[in-house]
């Protein structure tokens, strides 16, 4: 399985600057790795108010389990929400906090 190099901050910057649309091949591999694997416990974005507010949720162990809200994460920009999830997944997969904002 693809391992994310925690020193490749250029890829994190690329995502931060353009979270949607086409990405470089290397960044796409990072994104694919972040989205691979079991859905159990996966962080997801949850719409709190359509087109206005989003929060973080954690998927349950089984399909159909309710998504559990993750306290302390609320966003008024979808881009900001995507960046927050990217940083959390980066840390979970590399063991390093992503110190970019």
Contact between residue 2 and residue 33 where contact means Cβ atoms under 8 Å apart? yes
Query: 26: pLDDT confidence band, cut at 50, 70 and 90?
Result: very high
Q: What is the pTM of this model?
A: 0.92
Query: 37: pLDDT confidence band, cut at 50, 70 and 90?
Result: confident
Tokens describing residue 72:
């302390």
Q: Tell me what pLDDT residue 95 has.
A: 96
Residue 64 lies in a domain: yes
Tokens describing residue 86:
């990217």
Residue 62 lies in a domain: yes
Q: Tell me what pLDDT residue 101 has.
A: 74
Q: What is the pLDDT of residues 46-81, one digit of tens each?
A: 999 999 999 999 999 998 999 999 999 999 999 999
> What's the domain range around 65?
9-94
Domain count across the chain: 1
């Amino acid at each position: 399985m693809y391992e994310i190099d925690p020193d490749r901050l250029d890829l994190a910057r690329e995502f931060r600057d353009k979270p949607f649309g086409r990405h470089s091949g290397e960044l796409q591999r990072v994104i694919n790795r972040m989205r691979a694997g079991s859905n159990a416990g996966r962080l997801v974005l949850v719409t709190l108010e359509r087109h206005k507010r989003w929060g973080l949720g954690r998927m349950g162990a089984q399909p159909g389990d309710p998504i559990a809200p993750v306290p302390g994460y609320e966003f008024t920009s979808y881009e900001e929400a995507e960046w927050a999830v990217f940083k959390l997944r980066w840390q979970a997969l590399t063991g390093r906090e992503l110190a970019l904002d």
